[in-house]
C-alpha cells in the first residue's frame, strides 16, 4: 500500500489518452449519479421495462460486470492459485479488477432491484433455496468477501499462504456463483430459447474470455503499448489461451444456434432466428466480440500484442452485446400470443429499447469501475512485488 497525499491522488501525466480517459470517467460517473437521482425520484417509471419485458439494460450490465469479475478472478488464478510462473504478475491487478467490477455490478443491480433492503433481510429469513437468483446472490456475496480477503493478503498484508487459500475459495465460489447466474436464465422453462444446460456452462467460458480482454486492456493502458519483455511473454501466452477460448466459444455458439433452429421447434427456433438476424448479434456479438479478436490472434500466431489490445476493445463492446442479447433474446417471445382487444394486432416479438436513465446508470457503472481502478492503481502497488515470488 502506498502512502499517498490527496494531491498525488488526483495528479496524473497529462497525455491526450490520459485526459480522454479522465474525461470519459468523470462523464460516466456523473451520468451514473444523475441516473441514480432520477431513479430515486421516479422509481421504475424511469426505465423502459414492461410486463412483457421485465428485465432490461441494467440486468445486462449487471451480468456484464459480474462476468468481468469472475473472468478476472479465473484468469488471475492461473498464476497465484495454479502456480504458473508467468501469470503470477497479474494476480493483484486482476483481483483488484475483480473486486472493482463486481462492486460496479452491485451498484447497478442495487438500482434495478426494487427493494434491496428487503432483499438483504428476507434472503436470510425466508431463503428461496430453489431459486437460482438466491444462490447466485448469496454466492456472489461470499465471493466478494473471499476476493477482498485475497486482495488484502496479496497487496496490503502480504501472506502467500492466506492469499492462496482465499484465492482458491474465491475461485470455487465465484465459479459456482457464475454458473448459477447462467442458471437464472437456463432454468426458465417458460423460455425455450434460454432453457437448458447451455448458459451455466457458456457463462464460465465467456467469463474467461472477458477476463482475458480486460487483462489486455489494463496492461495496454498501463504500459502504453511499450511492454517489458516479462509482460510481453505473459501476454503472448494469454493471447494463445484467448484464441483457444474464442474457438471453443464460436464452436459452442454455432451448435447452440443450429440446435435451436433444427426441427423448427415452436417458440425456440423463431426466437433464435429473429435474434441472429439482428445486427446486435451478427455485428456486435459475433464480429466485434468474437471474430475480430480471433482473426487477429490467428493471423499473428498470437504474437501481435498491440493489435490484440485494440481487438480487446472491440471484444469488450461485443461482450456488452452478448449480455444485452442474453437478456433481450430470452424475453423476445411473447408469453401470450392472443390479442387482448378487438382492434389490435396479435402480439409478436416484444420490443424494448433502454431509457436514457437506464443508459446513464448502466454505462455509468463503467465509470464507477474506471474511477475505482484509477484509485486502486494509485493507492496500492498492483504489480508483482518481490515477496510474491516465493
Partner 1 sequence: MARYGMALNYKNCINCRACESACKEENGVLLLPDHYRIWVGVKEAEGQFPNISIASQTYHPSQCQHCDNAPCQQVCPTNATHYSPDGMVMVDPTRCILCTYCINACPYDARYVDQRTMTVDKCTFCSDTRLANGETTTACQATCPTKVRVFGDLDDPNSEISQLLAKHEYRRVKEHLGTKPKLFYIL
Binding site for partner 1 (CB under 8 A): 43-45, 49-52, 54-55, 113-116, 118-119, 122-123, 125-128, 130-134, 137, 184, 187-191, 330-331, 334-336, 338-342, 346
Cα–Cα–Cα angle for 141, 211, 304, nearest 5°? 170
Q: Of 99 and 183, which has the nearer Cβ to partner 1?
A: 183
Q: How far is the CB of 345 from partner 1 (least distance, A)?
A: 10
Q: How far is the CB of 114 from partner 1 (least distance, A)?
A: 2
Q: Of 7 and 115, which has the nearer Cβ to partner 1?
A: 115
Question: Are the CB atoms for 287 and 253 separated by under 8 Å?
Answer: no
Cα(187)–Cα(180) distance, integer angstroms: 10
- Joined grid coordinates for residue 124: 436470510
Q: How far is the CB of 366 from partner 1 (least distance, A)?
A: 23
Q: How far is the CB of 52 from partner 1 (least distance, A)?
A: 7
Q: Of 56 and 243, which has the nearer Cβ to partner 1?
A: 56
Cα(116)–Cα(265) distance, integer angstroms: 38
Q: How far is the CB of 267 from partner 1 (least distance, A)?
A: 10
DSSP result, 35-93: HHHHHHHHGGGGS---SSS---HHHHHHHHHHHHHHHHHHHHHHHHTT--GGGGGGHHH
Q: How far is the CB of 186 from partner 1 (least distance, A)?
A: 12
Cα(311)–Cα(313) distance, integer angstroms: 5
Q: Of 3 and 341, which has the nearer Cβ to partner 1?
A: 341
Please choose, from the candidates 336, 329, 333, the residue with its C-alpha nearest in 3D space to the C-alpha of residue 349: 333
Q: Of 5 and 126, which has the nearer Cβ to partner 1?
A: 126
CA distances from 86 to 76, 224, 231, 261, 389 (A): 11, 20, 8, 43, 11
Q: Of 45 and 230, which has the nearer Cβ to partner 1?
A: 45
Amino acid at each position: 500500500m502506498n502512502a499517498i497525499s490527496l494531491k498525488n491522488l488526483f495528479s496524473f501525466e497529462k497525455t491526450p489518452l490520459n485526459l480522454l480517459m479522465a474525461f470519459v470517467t468523470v462523464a460516466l460517473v456523473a451520468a451514473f449519479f444523475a441516473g441514480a437521482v432520477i431513479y430515486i425520484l421516479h422509481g421504475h417509471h424511469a426505465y423502459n421495462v414492461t410486463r412483457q419485458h421485465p428485465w432490461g439494460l441494467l440486468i445486462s450490465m449487471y451480468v456484464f460486470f459480474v462476468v468481468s469479475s469472475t473472468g478476472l478472478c479465473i484468469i488471475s488464478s492461473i498464476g497465484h492459485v495454479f502456480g504458473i510462473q508467468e501469470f503470477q504478475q497479474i494476480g493483484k491487478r486482476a483481483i483488484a479488477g475483480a473486486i472493482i467490477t463486481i462492486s460496479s455490478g452491485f451498484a447497478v443491480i442495487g438500482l434495478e432491484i426494487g427493494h434491496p433492503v428487503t432483499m438483504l433481510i428476507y434472503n436470510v429469513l425466508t431463503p428461496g433455496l430453489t431459486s437460482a437468483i438466491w444462490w447466485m446472490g448469496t454466492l456472489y456475496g461470499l465471493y466478494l468477501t473471499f476476493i477482498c480477503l485475497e486482495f488484502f493478503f496479496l497487496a496490503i498484508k502480504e501472506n502467500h499462504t492466506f492469499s492462496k487459500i482465499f484465492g482458491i475459495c474465491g475461485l470455487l465460489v465465484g465459479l459456482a456463483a457464475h454458473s448459477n447466474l447462467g442458471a437464472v436464465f437456463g432454468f426458465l422453462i417458460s423460455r425455450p430459447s434460454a432453457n437448458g444446460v447451455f448458459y451455466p456452462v457458456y457463462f464460465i467460458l465467456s467469463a474467461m474470455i472477458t477476463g482475458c480482454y480486460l487483462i489486455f486492456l489494463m496492461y495496454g493502458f498501463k504500459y502504453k503499448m511499450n511492454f517489458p519483455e516479462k509482460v510481453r511473454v505473459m501476454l503472448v501466452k494469454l493471447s494463445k489461451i484467448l484464441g483457444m477460448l474464442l474457438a471453443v466459444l464460436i464452436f459452442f455458439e454455432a451448435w447452440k444456434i443450429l440446435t435451436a433452429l433444427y426441427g423448427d421447434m415452436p417458440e425456440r427456433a423463431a426466437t433464435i432466428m429473429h435474434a441472429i438476424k439482428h445486427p446486435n448479434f451478427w455485428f456486435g456479438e459475433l464480429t466485434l466480440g468474437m471474430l475480430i479478436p480471433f482473426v487477429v490472434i490467428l493471423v499473428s500466431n498470437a504474437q501481435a500484442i498491440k493489435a490484440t489490445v485494440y481487438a480487446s476493445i472491440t471484444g469488450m463492446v461485443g461482450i456488452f452485446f452478448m449480455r444485452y442479447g442474453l437478456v433481450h433474446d430470452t424475453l423476445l417471445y411473447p408469453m401470450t400470443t392472443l390479442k387482448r382487444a378487438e382492434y389490435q394486432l396479435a402480439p409478436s416479438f416484444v420490443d424494448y429499447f433502454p431509457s436514457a436513465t437506464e443508459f446513464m446508470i448502466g454505462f455509468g457503472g463503467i465509470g464507477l469501475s474506471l474511477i475505482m481502478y484509477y484509485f486502486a492503481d494509485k493507492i496500492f502497488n498492483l504489480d508483482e512485488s518481490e515477496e510474491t515470488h516465493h
